[in-house]
Structure 1
Amino acid sequence: MLIVCTGLILWTPVLFAQHALDTHTELSEAQQWLTEGKYDKAYQAFLTLSQNQNSALAQFTLGLFHQNGWGITTDQEAACHWFGKAVKGSKGNIPVANHFLAECLQHGTHQPVDYTAALHWYRKAAELGHYISLCSIAELIMQGKGTEKNPQLALEQCQQAALANSIPAQLKMGQLYLSGDETIRNIHQAIVWLNHAAENGSLEAFYHLGNVYLNHLNDPVMALKWFETAASQGFLPAYFPTGQLYFNAPVSEETQMPTAENLAKAYLWLSTTGQASQNTYELNKTTRMLKKVKQIMPESWKKDLDQKIFQHLSAFHP
């Protein structure tokens, strides 16, 4: 009997190692099928791994299938279900799974809203290195949801991630200073953080800076600078405000007509908006403005400008 037990003890580490190796191989194959767009095959493979091996990574990936609609109809409730299983299966060691589960609980996607539980899983995600979760914590603290309301503490939470050079956190800091609790609103601090994100190459930051200068500081010149910077690099939401600002730019004192540059730029960005945007409001206003631009713009300009529009759209919206 002792000999048999000794044999089992000797074989146990080998069996565990073989099991881990098999699971890793199956996960790799499933991931390869996902990469190749073989969604049905990949989903079934991840589902089998979840059921037979209780693989947290497979469960998390199944959540992503439902969240993103990879080969199936999006189903946020099902996604939340799988994120919850992944967190429990991995003892909470998949940072993004923790964050997504917290979002589910915050918004009541698959069960009643539970802000306290959402805060718990956001904090777990942040502890595991998912620093943007600190800004989600800040959002709840700012509103006093699941905890005592404390706007200053909320800023300090998100700032930790922003100081770690997280662009989403820097954008969130800008938004908190712009539209958070009235006691901490500060336009100039918002600009500081949005500038940090812009320096890190965030086109969204350029766009938000345009909105700050236009809507909060009444400075259309600076607003146009930021909007056009974003638009020139293919940031779709910036097309319409860029075209609109060129359309509304001051006319020449001598001719009482738009300057040649402003007229050409208005045509360029309004036309680009008309071809790329799906926003009904933007498209309706663009059509009316373009009609006026074409009435005064020399026909000889059109060929060259249309070519520039084609090149831009080909580069950023093929």
Structure 2
Amino acid sequence: MCQPPNNTGPQSIQQNTTLINDNFNNHLSEEEQNSLKLKHGKVKIQMNDNSDNNFSGLRHLGYCYQHGIETEKNEIKAFELYEAAAEKGDVDSIYQLGYCYQHGIGTEKNEIKAFELYKASADMGHVVSTYNFGKCYENGIGIEKNDNEAFKLYEKAAEKGHIISIYNLGKCYSCGIGIEYNKIKAFELYKKAADKDHLDSIYQLGFCYLFGTGTEENVIKAFELYTKAADKDHLDSINILGFCYHYGIGTEASEIKAFELYKKASDKGHLDSMYKLGNCYLFGIGTEANEIKALELYKKASDKGHLDSMYKLGNCYLFGIGTEANDIKALELYQKVAGR
């Protein structure tokens, strides 16, 4: 149940903008896009005024350059604008600058600077920075790993309503990261974030009900939660929902539905679904048996490091399933699996 958090929009304080995201790859809503288009023209005019107080304009313009909104995409200009606004003390821009340094956006990647900037903006009360500051400690980004510090920072951001931090706090209790293992608290935190439609939390809450972790076992509730998250294209949930249909967990068994769900997630790059889809083709589960397709799927997932697929691919080469037998390739794959 210890899985990385999903990227969703942050909660923030001391700002009235929704432009700050935990992940710059998140898509803006149409309303936000239109708002930025209007601001883009205004900001250009304001920039000509050289107002020392116009840090929000600098930041908005930086965001437009970063994402190519009403202007040609230019990450270097975006970085320079964030830097200018950060120098004026704009907490959102200090956060954005940290993110740029962490991911090498418009500048050379520098995790130490990213850590320092997240700390600076977190100390100013920026909730998303507090979360990212915690991630730095959890994953050793720009600083030595420290699970205890990570837990404290997630807790601090969670207390201010930051959904991903609530989820991460649940993960800490679930896995004993920086705090003693407590399955009941983990369940409560996953539920709290799930009630706010955080998809990873909905998925983890499903596992709590599936295995009776921190609550009474209830496979029907688990199935309902997986369905809810799967309907919003959460790939892990689509995969586990396929598993539920495959084995009749919380619903009537349907190998055809299982196959369809595995294929849906596999087509979007979900490695475990590729593996399960390979099994469907190998054994004719919900579809006609096809050893060549099975081999292709095992190979695709294996190439991306999926261990079960590596092992199955080794079996295919050993026994000549979907390909000519090749003992050397089989041995190489088994050794890779053993080495992991």
TM-score range, shorter chain: 0.5 to 0.7
Verify: 1:100 aligned to 2:126, yes or no: no
Q: TM-score, normalised by structure 1?
A: 0.64
Q: Distance in 2 between matches of 1:187 and 1:270?
A: 36
User: Which residue is equivalent to 2:289?
Assistant: 263
Does residue 1:199 correspond to 2:231, yes or no? yes
The structure whose residues are more often helix, as a share, is 1
Please list every run of 5 or more consecutive structure 1 residues that lacks an aligned counterpart in the other structure: 1-17, 251-258, 296-318
Is the Cα contact below 8 Å between 2:78 and 2:106 reproduced in 1?
A: no
Residue segments in structure 2 that go unaligned for 5+ positions in a row: 1-50, 325-340
Match of 1:43 in 2: 79
Task: Give 1:234-273 correspondences, 5 Å limit.
Answer: 234-237=268-271, 238-249=273-284, 262-263=288-289, 267-268=292-293, 270-271=295-296
CA RMSD of aligned residues (A): 4.0
User: Which one-letter code corresponds to 1:279 in the other structure?
Assistant: K
SS in 1 for 2:94: helix
The change in CA–CA distance for 1:20 and 1:71 in structure 2 (over 3 A counts) is closer
> Aligned residue pairs: how many?
260
Secondary structure class of the residue paired with 1:65? helix
CA distance in 1, matches of 2:175, 2:293: 43
Asked if 1:83 corresponds to 2:118, the answer is: yes
* Cα 1:239/1:97, change in 2 over 3 Å: same
Moved more, 280-289 or 121-130: 280-289
Matches within 5 A, 1:158-307: 158-176=190-208, 186=217, 188=219, 190-210=222-242, 221=255, 223-232=258-267, 234-237=268-271, 238-249=273-284, 262-263=288-289, 267-268=292-293, 270-271=295-296, 274=299, 278-279=303-304, 282=309, 285-286=312-313, 288=316, 292-293=321-322
2:93 is matched with which residue: 53, 58, 61?
58
Instruction: Report the TM-score, using the length of structure 2 for normalisation.
Output: 0.61
Q: How far apart are residue 140 of structure 1 and its match?
A: 2.2
Cα distance in 2 between the residues matched to 1:213 and 1:284: 25
Following superposition, the deviation at residue 160 of structure 1 comes to 1.0
Q: Could you tell me how far apart the structure 1 residues matched to 2:113 and 2:247 are? A: 40
Corresponding residue of 1:140 = 172
CA deviation string 1:226-263 (max 9, x = no partner): 3123235x24422232022221237xxxxxxxx9x513
Tell me the SS of whatever aligns to 1:19. coil
Whichever residue aligns with residue 303 of structure 2, its letter is Q
Distance 1:119 1:208 in 2: 28
1:225 to partner: Cα distance: 4.6
Which residue of the partner structure matches residue 53 of structure 2? 20
Higher relative contact order (CA closer than 8 Å, sequence separation 6+): 2
TM-superposed CA distance for 1:137, in Å, is 1.3
Aligned partner of residue 132 in structure 1, secondary structure:
helix
**Number of the residue aligned with 2:146:** 113
Percent same amino acid among aligned pairs?
Answer: 19
* Superposition deviation, residue 114 in structure 1: 5.2
Q: Does 1:122 align with 2:147?
A: no
Q: Which has the larger radius of gyration?
A: 1
